[in-house]
Structure 1
Amino acid sequence: MSPASTPDRILAAAHAIFDAEGADAVSMRRVAAEVGLSAMAIYRHFPNREALLARLSDDSFEEAARTWTDHAGQGTPRQRLLAMLGSYLDYALAHPHLFDHAFGLPREDARRFPEDFRARRSPTLNPIADAIVEGMSHGAFRKADEWDLAMDLWAHAHGLIALYRAGRFSYDEKRFRAFYLASTGRLIDAFAT
């Protein structure tokens, strides 16, 4: 196995700091020290902190998308939607700081609904829309705009996660997970035939 490249080592160190302490803890100087670089050497690989944080967000989207895509073709469209939304919850709870940065904070480069999503620029929402289209083509879901339905599901899931993380549920994680999956299932069933 070859050693990790310097940019990969920088990303791994930044990811670990971000995951543990949040975006505010990620400084170019601190990441450089973690990797064993001089404070100025890190700038050869990332022009500034914003570029490093943007890359971490992009990597977060890609990680979530890979997990969601792993569910493609497995089970019914309803089962796939529940599995993908379950993965979304897993990611949010395992990586709360990265989740907030990727999905919950204003960013200049954030995708906008509907145009960016309809142009299939969202690696995370594309598999949701695809499962909805498949469900409609098999007669399991009523005919509707797949992107509107995908956004309905995502907004519902995201809202439940945000409420849970804000302490608005008295449930422990296991009980919240059961509620979350049942609730998203009810929403999916609302557009079933």
Structure 2
Amino acid sequence: MPYPPKLTPELILREAQTLLDAGGQDALNMRPLAAALGVQASSLYRHFPDRAALLQALEDCASRDLTRAIEQASTGTTPRGALLLTCEAYVQYAETYPHRYRLLLSPRPPSVGQPGPGKDLWNTVLNLVSALSGHTDDTARTVALWAFLHGFVVMSRSGLFGLSGPKGGFEVGLSALLDEMERAATQGDVPRETL
């Protein structure tokens, strides 16, 4: 009878991603995860003290994966081209890994961004936006872009576009955002913080 491989956090996370991808967060519990790994559930707790810690580790993995996809897509092109490719990579990630994406943007109380994979993801997008708009730390335009992307992903996944699809709405909206960023770079426009 073969022995199960040595249990490591990486092995646990790999199997947890498989369960997450197949059935979402509801399918991700310690007992089924332990069964899939061929171990007792108690042995998982040596690496992850509870389900919340496991979910946080999976969220960190998703943040790193999406950051890597964005960095690979946006390398070696103009600032506008980098953001176009970033947005395509973002939507592609959300479509390919919907449960990981949902975990990545699950609701949480407002808090100060802490160093880590989630903050790294934010900074990657922020730097790309700032490169196009010409404004260092362009949080307002980064929020606008991210809200647009997330809104598109949610509407697309929910079927709200119907059988006709978005009819080029993604391209129109993205183009408007990027045009405004380029205009800001040439005119020195700084977004207002309050209306």
Per the TM alignment, residue 146 of structure 1 is displaced from its structure 2 partner at its CA by 0.9
Q: Give me the whole-angstrom Cα distance separating, in 2, the residues matched to 1:15 and 1:69.
A: 22
Contact 1:82/1:181, CA 8 A, preserved across alignment:
no
Gaps of 5+ in 2: 184-195
Identity between Structure 1 and Structure 2 (%): 30
Describe how 1:39-50 pairs up with structure 2 within 5 A.
Answer: 39-50=41-52
* TM-score, with structure 2 as normaliser: 0.80
Q: Give me the whole-angstrom Cα distance separating, in 2, the residues matched to 1:121 and 1:134.
A: 20
Q: Partner residue of 1:124?
A: 121
Per the TM alignment, residue 5 of structure 1 is displaced from its structure 2 partner at its CA by 5.3
Contact 1:62/1:124, CA 8 A, preserved across alignment:
yes
Q: Partner residue of 1:140?
A: none
Describe how 1:9-48 pairs up with structure 2 within 5 A.
Answer: 9-48=11-50
Partner SS state of residue 45, structure 2: helix
- Which of 162, 173, 181 aligns to 1:191? It is 181
Per the TM alignment, residue 145 of structure 1 is displaced from its structure 2 partner at its CA by 5.9
How many residues were matched structurally? Answer: 179
Per the TM alignment, residue 95 of structure 1 is displaced from its structure 2 partner at its CA by 0.9
Task: Return closer, same or farther for 1:159/1:29 CA change in 2, 3 Å cut-off.
Answer: same
Q: Which amino acid aligns with 2:32?
A: R
* TM-score, with structure 1 as normaliser: 0.80
Task: Return closer, same or farther for 1:181/1:98 CA change in 2, 3 Å cut-off.
Answer: same
Larger Rg: 2
Gaps of 5+ in 1: 138-142
- Which of 135, 138, 151 aligns to 2:132? It is 135
- Which of 58, 81, 85 aligns to 2:83? It is 81
